[in-house]
């Protein structure tokens, strides 16, 4: 049995419809839940029943031009709003919202996360993304996407400003002293006076310091710029690898960069995406996977593969290998992590159809099929091998796929001492074992 003090973390990564590309078509899936608060409430409360660290809301700011028919994630609520509502119907689970540094203002972002942190009594987390799709740029006054290095440079300054604004009120600035008429102490409320390359922000923020000091900073960096930003500023990273070696390499790489920023490796939690297909028996699990695979339309398979690679494969013959003109080295950072899949395709000379049948359903994430024991075995192996500090669970369909994980796999993890049986703290920072940031003005 593992040392009970060496436990991993769990988050559920919410993508309306589920993480298998055909998950929304599953007979037990709630395909129209995407607009319905009851859907999100059920999912968050299930994850909280499973003692998860966090409930993670993905986001993208637009719809691809060739992508309007098959994809339930074309409908997305703005993450901050359902999370605010979930804050008042849950008690312990962390609430992570994806918000872009390219199409928002730092003052607004700092204030929104401070608000969520107050509403949830210390459970807010910001997943910092720079947005890498041209369809997003086109919705924000840009005809093309800015260069990645510029996006990361801007993101770095953006995060600095947000953290600075969170410090502008000292802990005890708000007194609300009815007797004297003093509501807040002027000497404990500070201007930030940030004047940088991208932002000029005077401050102070008009909300008092968040309960966590700073809401937890989440990221998902795979490119050089992304990894460096994560090492400098992230407290949790969402990553996706389908081979143990690549995951270990990434883990060592990111943690190894932290020292130069004066940070200890355990102050950043690496959360690996995992799609669990759970059965009470191996046969049941296999049947579930086949059912999902059978629902995958060729157009959708090709489109997802194109999306993963950042390269449109739809003009090419589906029963022939990948076109020779296509080279993943030209792709954006988020696609480069699919190099191992490209390598397998080239080595085995897989056709486009064979390739999407094998990899499109799970979009390159680690998919594990089996009994609760088999799934726990894989998670334990990867955790012990230094590939992750925890897992972002990506249920293949919703809500049933999350129910299965919480009801069947979590008890097995708890039995092995790999996962908590009760929350010890009340804030997300406490769940993750992260220290509370000091206030720079104090």
| Tokens standing for residue 114 | 């401070």
Which listed residue (78, 245, 282, 348) binds a copy of itself by CB under 8 A? Answer: 78
By the rule CB under 8 A, 32 interacts with a copy of itself: yes
Owner of token pair 């999902």: 292
Q: Among residues 200 and 435, whose Cβ is nearest to a copy of itself?
A: 200
By the rule CB under 8 A, 25 interacts with a copy of itself: yes
Per the CB < 8 A criterion, the answer to whether 436 and 27 are in contact is: no
Residues 189-248 within binding reach of a copy of itself (CB under 8 A) = 189, 199-204, 206-208
User: What φ, ψ does residue 169 adopt, rounded to 5°?
Assistant: -105, 125
User: Distances from the Cα of 319 to the Cαs of 292, 298, 324, in angstroms?
Assistant: 21, 11, 14
Q: Among residues 67 and 407, whose Cβ is nearest to a copy of itself?
A: 67
Site string for a copy of itself, 365-384 (x = CB under 8 A): --------------------
User: CA 355, CA 346: separation in Å to the nearest integer?
Assistant: 10
By the rule CB under 8 A, 82 interacts with a copy of itself: yes
How many residues of this chain interact with a copy of itself, rule: CB under 8 A? Answer: 73
By the rule CB under 8 A, 70 interacts with a copy of itself: yes
By the rule CB under 8 A, 441 interacts with a copy of itself: no
| Tokens standing for residue 20 | 């298998």
Residues 285-344 within binding reach of a copy of itself (CB under 8 A) = 295, 297, 300
Per the CB < 8 A criterion, the answer to whether 274 and 394 are in contact is: yes
DSSP letter at 260? G
Q: Which stretch binds a copy of itself (CB under 8 A): 24-32, 47-55, 125-133, 374-382?
A: 24-32
By the rule CB under 8 A, 60 interacts with a copy of itself: yes
Of the candidates 30, 47, 48, the one whose C-alpha atom is nearest the C-alpha of residue 39 is 30
User: CA 388, CA 237: separation in Å to the nearest integer?
Assistant: 10
Which listed residue (118, 246, 263, 415) binds a copy of itself by CB under 8 A? Answer: 118
Which listed residue (89, 259, 264, 385) binds a copy of itself by CB under 8 A? Answer: 89
Q: Among residues 208 and 374, whose Cβ is nearest to a copy of itself?
A: 208
Which of 201-222 are b and which e, b meaning 16 or more Cβ less than 10 Å from the residue's Cβ?
Answer: bebbbebbbbbbbbbbbbbbbb
Which listed residue (178, 319, 422, 424) binds a copy of itself by CB under 8 A? Answer: 178
């Amino acid at each position: 049995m593992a040392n009970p003090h060496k436990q991993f973390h769990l988050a559920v990564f919410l993508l309306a419809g589920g993480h298998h590309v055909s998950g929304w078509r599953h007979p037990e899936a709630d395909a129209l839940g995407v607009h319905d608060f009851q859907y999100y409430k059920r999912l968050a409360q299930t994850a909280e029943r499973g003692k998860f660290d966090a409930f993670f809301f993905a986001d993208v700011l637009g719809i691809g031009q060739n992508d309007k028919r098959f994809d339930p994630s074309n409908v997305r609520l703005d993450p901050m709003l359902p999370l605010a509502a979930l804050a008042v119907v849950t008690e312990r689970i962390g609430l992570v919202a994806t918000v872009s540094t390219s199409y928002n203002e730092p003052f607004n972002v700092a204030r929104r996360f401070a608000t969520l942190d107050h509403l949830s009594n210390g459970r807010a987390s910001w997943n910092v993304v720079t947005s890498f799709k041209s369809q997003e740029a086109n919705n924000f006054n840009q005809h093309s996407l800015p260069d990645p290095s510029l996006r990361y440079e801007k993101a770095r300054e953006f995060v600095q400003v947000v953290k600075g604004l969170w410090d502008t009120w000292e802990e005890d600035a708000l007194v609300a002293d009815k007797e004297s008429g003093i509501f807040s102490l002027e000497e404990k409320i500070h201007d930030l006076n940030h004047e940088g390359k991208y932002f000029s922000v005077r401050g102070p923020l008009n909300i008092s310091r968040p309960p966590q000091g700073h809401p937890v900073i989440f990221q998902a960096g795979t490119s050089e710029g992304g990894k460096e930003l994560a090492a400098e500023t992230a407290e949790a990273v969402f990553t996706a690898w389908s081979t143990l070696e690549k995951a270990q390499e990434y883990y060592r790489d990111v943690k190894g960069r932290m020292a130069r920023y004066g940070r200890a490796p355990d102050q950043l939690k690496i959360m690996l995406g995992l799609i669990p297909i759970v059965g009470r028996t191996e046969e049941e699990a296999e049947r579930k996977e086949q059912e999902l695979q059978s629902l995958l339309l060729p157009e959708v398979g090709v489109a997802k593969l194109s999306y993963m690679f950042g390269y449109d494969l739809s003009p090419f013959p589906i029963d022939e290998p990948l076109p020779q003109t296509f080279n993943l080295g030209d792709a954006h950072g988020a696609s480069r992590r699919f190099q191992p899949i490209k390598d397998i395709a080239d080595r085995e000379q897989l056709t486009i159809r064979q390739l999407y049948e094998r990899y499109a359903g799970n979009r390159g994430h680690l998919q594990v099929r089996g009994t609760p024991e088999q799934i726990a075995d894989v998670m334990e192996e990867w955790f012990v091998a230094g590939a992750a500090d925890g897992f972002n669970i990506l249920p293949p369909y919703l809500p049933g796929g999350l129910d299965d994980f919480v009801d069947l796999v979590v008890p097995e993890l708890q039995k092995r001492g790999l996962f908590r049986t009760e929350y010890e703290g009340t804030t997300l920072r406490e769940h993750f074992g992260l220290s509370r940031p000091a206030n720079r003005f104090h």
